[in-house]
Amino acid sequence: VDYPDLVVVGAGLFGLTVAQQAAELADARVEVIDIRDHIGGNAYSYMDEETGAEIHKYGAHLFHTSSRRVWEYVNRFTEFTDYVHRVWATHDGEVYPLPTNLGTINQFFRAHMTPAEAKALIAEQAGELAGQDPQNLNDKGISLIGRPLYEAFIKNYTAKQWQTDPAELPASIINRLPVRFNYDNRYFQDTWEGLPKDGYTKWMERMAADERIHVSLGVDFFDASQPYSKDALKAAGVPVVYTGPVDRYFDYALGDLKWRTVDFKEVRYDEGDHFGCPVMNFSDADVPYTRAIEFKNFNPERRDAQNPDKTVVWEEYSRFAERGDEPYYPVNTEADKALYARYEELAAGEDKVVFGGRLGTYKYYDMHQVIATALDAYEKRIAPMLAK
Ligand code: FDA
């Protein structure tokens, strides 16, 4: 085999960023492999023919960043719409704005409080457990925003996310619960946000559109019968960037790192708009899913190209992942963190292999964070390996 200068395992945003930089800055020949049949990793999306919606196959993806470096980098490959993310929640037969803000509070308490009045009320309610060290997530939630708001908007939602009674969950899962004492319901507070104008997949195709980059899909790094396998590359001394699960790389030698996953249930409606917004949370226990995504509403600027009479919604059901499920959110208990630290040590001992991305480093990263860490990893660790 005529090996390239670098093999990247995983065509997600980490892998594509590294591949793009290696080709452009080091004139490297790069092979990108992915076990899936498409590029883009979890940010991949496709067009739904019936409705004209862009479906984010692995869950809703909203781009936002305050890093000028990342914003300038991504703008080389796509333009962004002026989409601004906002979320609503259904609770006890009413729809409220999120994140919890003065609108939510005044609607909930049937009041017309000023910011100062609302602040005083929440502080008083949060004082219920004053002087006690919260022993579980329930107590922590109450001590952060008071029992009424906690029980309405956080308790059951969290129970559905974790399939566990919050009284049984560690307090450490939440550090803060944002409450805004004004009517700002803009979800992200970053300098820049938006959605890729012609879709996520086009964006990522352009990242790989360098003739020095070759992408092979449907290829498993651990399949010894193909030329870019772990063993073959090690024997040939080819530098590797690995963005798959770190425990899988070491054959789960120290045990499995724990993840949560999400099952999506697709529902189609014979109407143009079902929720009137892109994301509706369901805060109560009687609805079994946590939230529903109505993809058409992420792209109102495409209205003319969308079907005015049909819409598609994905309901999200959260659960603990088994091996073979899509790993989405690291569970990150103290035991998981300790286990990852041991895997990290093994990873550091792998000559010529750089571990990156959310699976390779067992971390929840947003897209902008993954791109920032990939640009850094390229500069600090990969460029030196490629220097001839
Ligand atoms: P990613 O998982 O994308 O790529 C890894 C690739 O490696 C995969 O394509 C996989 O197939 C491949 N691979 C694994 N094992 C392999 C093997 N053995 N052989 C070959 N290939 C292998 N971010 C954000 O900014 N805004 C948002 O709104 C959201 N929303 C969101 C929702 C949900 C449900 C999740 C789970 C995540 C988000 N994110 C997000 C985060 C975003 O998805 C994330 O930051 C990036 O997709 C991570 O890119 P990576 O390249 O690290 O991993």
Pocket flag, ligand 1, residue 87 (CB < 6 Å): no
- Name the CA radius of gyration of the chain, rounded: 23
* Catalytic-residue membership of 180: yes
What's the domain count of the chain? 2
What is the arithmetic mean of pLDDT over 310-327?
95
In a shared domain, residues 25 and 116: no
Instruction: Quote the ligand 1 centre to 204 CA distance (angstroms).
Output: 13
Neighbours of 76 (CB within 10 A): 9
CA of 330 to the centre of ligand 1 (A): 12
DSSP string, 278-344: SEEEE-STTSSSSEEEEGGGG-GGGGGGS-TT-EEEEEEEEEEPPTTSPP-EE---HHHHHHHHHHH
Single residue among 144, 173, 202 that ends a domain in this structure: 173
* Rounded CA separation 336/330 (Å): 9
Residue 267 has a pLDDT of: 98
| Residues sharing a CB contact under 8 Å with residue 160, sequence separation 6 or more, in sequence order | 285, 288, 289, 290, 318
Q: Does 356 fall in a domain?
A: yes
The CA distances from residue 269 to 50, 54, 274, in Å, are: 11, 16, 7
Residues 102, 218 within the same domain = no
Say whether 69 is catalytic. no
Task: Please tell me whether residues 56 and 167 are part of one structural domain.
Answer: no
Cα(43) to centroid of ligand 1, in Å? 6
CB 129 within 8 A of CB 171: no
Domain boundary among 113, 144, 173: 173
Domain membership of residue 294 (yes or no) is no
**Separation between Cα atoms, residue 277 and residue 295, nearest integer Å:** 9
- Judgement on whether residues 10 and 60 belong to the same structural domain of the protein: yes
Q: Are residues 215 and 357 in the same domain?
A: yes
| Whether the predicted model's global pTM rises above the 0.90 cut | yes
- Name the one residue in this structure whose structure tokens are 């500069």: 379
Q: Is the CB of 85 inside a 6 Å radius of any atom of ligand 1? A: no
190-200 pLDDT, tens digit per residue, is 999 999 999 99
Residue 173: both structure tokens together: 């899962």
Domain containing residue 349: CATH number: 3.40.50.720
For residues 137 and 166, is the Cβ–Cβ distance under 8 A?
yes
Indicate if 232 and 97 belong to the same structural domain: no
Q: What six digits make up the tokens of 213?
A: 């980059």
Residue 43 Cβ contacting ligand 1 at under 6 Å: yes
Same domain, 139 and 239: no
Domain closes at, from 117, 138, 173: 173
Ligand 1 pocket test: which of 32, 45, 61, 323 has the largest number of ligand atoms within 8 Å of its C-beta? Answer: 61
3 state SS of 160: helix
**Mutation test residue for ligand 1: of 14, 20, 42, 85, the one with most atoms within 8 Å of CB:** 42
Same domain for 42 and 92?
no
Pair 95, 158 in one domain: yes
**Check: complex ipTM more than 0.85:** yes
- Domain-embedded: residue 320: no
Active site residue 381: no
The pLDDT, as a whole number, for residue 388 is: 62
Whether residue 296 has its Cβ less than 6 Å from ligand 1: no
In this prediction, residues 66-74 reach a mean pLDDT of 98
Q: Is residue 262 part of a domain?
A: no
Spot the catalytic one: 231, 364, 376, 379.
Answer: 364
Q: What is the mean pLDDT of the chain?
A: 96
Residue 270 in any domain: the answer is no
Residues 231 and 348 in one domain: yes
> How high is the pLDDT of residue 173?
84
- Cβ atoms within 10 Å of 5's Cβ, excluding its own: 18
In a domain, 245, yes or no: yes
Mean pLDDT calculated for residue range 196-206: 98
**Ligand 1 lined by 12 (C-beta under 6 Å):** yes
122 in a domain, yes or no? Answer: yes
Say yes or no: CB of residue 33 within 6 Å of ligand 1.
Answer: yes
Question: Do residue 17 and residue 120 come from a single domain?
Answer: no
Instruction: Flag whether 277 is in a domain.
Output: no
Cα gap 285→300, rounded to integer Å? 31
pLDDT grade for 172, boundaries at 50, 70 and 90 = confident
Q: Residue 61 is part of which domain span? A: 6-79+193-254+330-386
Cβ atoms of residues 166 and 159 within 8 Å: yes
In this structure, the answer to whether residues 25 and 95 fall within a common structural domain is no
